[in-house]
Amino acid sequence: MNGIVLTITGAITLLIAALMFIMPTLMRPTLPLGVSIPHGRIGDPAVHRAIQRFRCGVAAAFIVSLAACLATSGGSPNLALLLPVPLMVVLGTVSYVLARRGILRAKREHDWYRGVPVRLTASVSAHDTVDTPVPATWFVASLLLLVAVAGFGISIYGALPDPMPIHWNAAGVVDGYAAKSAWSVFGAVCISIGVIVMLFAIAFWIRSAPMRRVGGDTPAQAQRRRHGQQHLTLELLGQTAALVAIVTACAVLQGWLAPHASHWSGAIGILTPALIVAVIAAFVVRWMRLNRSLSRPPAGSTNTPSADTPTPHPDTPDDDSHWKAGIIYINRDDPSILVPKRFGIGWTLNFGHPTGVLITLGILALVALLLISATIQPGS
């Protein structure tokens, strides 16, 4: 049993490490490790060195996390289960913060932005921005699946055992029961439906976050990048909803139909990480393909005028000062609550915006509430 838990923990840690490792490849070249650089400096030795250091740091963080997991597994299995993932995230972040300093130093010492023209580019027309459609099919199909599962549950409600098995240990053996009630039978389905509806709402909300032109992009390229990245991220959100629905459906059906079939729970235990890896891998491949199609014509050589770029496209202003440690965005002038992440996929909040601060406090309060309720429950 211990072995399975440790394997899953190790696998999640490996997934996080792998994502951190390839992240520099996924990011735009004018923002290596979240440092804004002019596109004439793409491929600078300082940039290469910093990315190499970051990757070494991520590899070391993975080894340390794994070692911590193995070292604590004998004494306290709970610690071995809970420690590696946060440790990996923290150490990976530390190596990001340390490695990017190399680029910041080179940029400061050689004054990379001196004499480089920078421009902010955006449209002033009302009807220029075409919203990327939300892939509603994923969300609707996920909800339909869960509603069908709930409908099936209602039809067999009389035949379900009382008490209901509601919790399984890592080996797939029932270790928790609850009196049969609407909540113990349909609770998981309801929570999943809530999560999917929330993801659906978030999908609409993130479209309002601006994706501004990045350095060196022509306006046409900027638009393609905006639509491409929005499309892929919205698809990822939709696929996450589908994943939640499928895993919930399988787990709930097992609980109703065959709570003691450990081979079934074992299959779910394999299906879940396999689906997660498949979704992430497909996303990464499509993202890299998008980046490749956008970087044509190659921007490697400095300022060579080519037939495809009739007018030179200036860089975007150095906005490092708004990004604390290259992670936290604080810009009081920016009216946007959500902005694309500096390093990583997705969006982050603007802490210079009152609503951004409010949302963060709300999330922290929610997490605190969940933690408190989780620690109180076993005692009562």
Query: In the complex, what is the shortest distance from the CB of residue 259 to other proteins, in angstroms, rounded to a whole number?
Result: 51
Please list, residue by residue across 200-214, b when 16 or more beta carbons sit within 10 angstroms of its beta carbon and e when fewer do.
beebeebbebebbbb
Beta-ladder partners of 100 = none
307 near other proteins, judged by CB under 8 A: no
Closer residue to other proteins, CB minimum distance, 35 or 166: 35
130, 159, 307, 376: residue in contact with other proteins (rule CB under 8 A): 130
14, 85, 97, 121: residue in contact with other proteins (rule CB under 8 A): 121
Query: In the complex, what is the shortest distance from the CB of residue 334 to other proteins, in angstroms, rounded to a whole number?
Result: 5
Closer residue to other proteins, CB minimum distance, 119 or 260: 119
Report which secondary-structure segment, H or E, holds 351. none
Residues in the chain: 380
Q: Are 313 and 294 in contact (CB under 8 A)?
A: no
Q: Are 64 and 126 in contact (CB under 8 A)?
A: no
Q: How many residues bind other proteins (CB under 8 A)?
A: 26
Distance of CA 126 to the CA centre of its chain: 32
296 near other proteins, judged by CB under 8 A: no
Q: What is the 3-state secondary structure (H, E, C) of 231-253?
A: HHHHHHHHHHHHHHHHHHHHHHH
| CA–CA separation, 146 and 241 (whole Å) | 11
Closer residue to other proteins, CB minimum distance, 194 or 335: 335
**Sequential DSSP letters for 63-100:** HHHHHHHHHHHTT-HHHHHHSHHHHHHHHHHHHHHHHH
What residue type is 3 in one-letter code? G
Query: In the complex, what is the shortest distance from the CB of residue 317 to other proteins, in angstroms, rounded to a whole number?
Result: 5
Query: In the complex, what is the shortest distance from the CB of residue 105 to other proteins, in angstroms, rounded to a whole number?
Result: 22
Q: Which residue's entry shows tokens 């490749």?
A: 292
* 326-365 footprint of other proteins as x/- string (CB under 8 A): -----x-xxxx-----------------------------
15 near other proteins, judged by CB under 8 A: no
Query: In the complex, what is the shortest distance from the CB of residue 243 to other proteins, in angstroms, rounded to a whole number?
Result: 31
78, 125, 377, 380: residue in contact with other proteins (rule CB under 8 A): 125
Q: What's the Rg (C-alpha) of the chain?
A: 24
> Which stretch, 27-35, 116-124, 144-152, 179-187, contacts other proteins (CB under 8 A)?
116-124
Query: In the complex, what is the shortest distance from the CB of residue 209 to other proteins, in angstroms, rounded to a whole number?
Result: 9
| CA–CA separation, 275 and 379 (whole Å) | 35
Query: In the complex, what is the shortest distance from the CB of residue 21 to other proteins, in angstroms, rounded to a whole number?
Result: 30
Q: Are 81 and 47 in contact (CB under 8 A)?
A: no
Q: Are 340 and 233 in contact (CB under 8 A)?
A: no
Joined together, the tokens standing for residue 5 give: 């838990």
Closer residue to other proteins, CB minimum distance, 169 or 208: 208
45, 74, 158, 220: residue in contact with other proteins (rule CB under 8 A): 220
124 near other proteins, judged by CB under 8 A: yes
Query: In the complex, what is the shortest distance from the CB of residue 345 to other proteins, in angstroms, rounded to a whole number?
Result: 20
CB atoms within 10 A of CB 194: 10
309 near other proteins, judged by CB under 8 A: no
Residues binding other proteins (CB under 8 A): 117-130, 210, 212, 219-220, 223, 314, 317, 331, 333-336
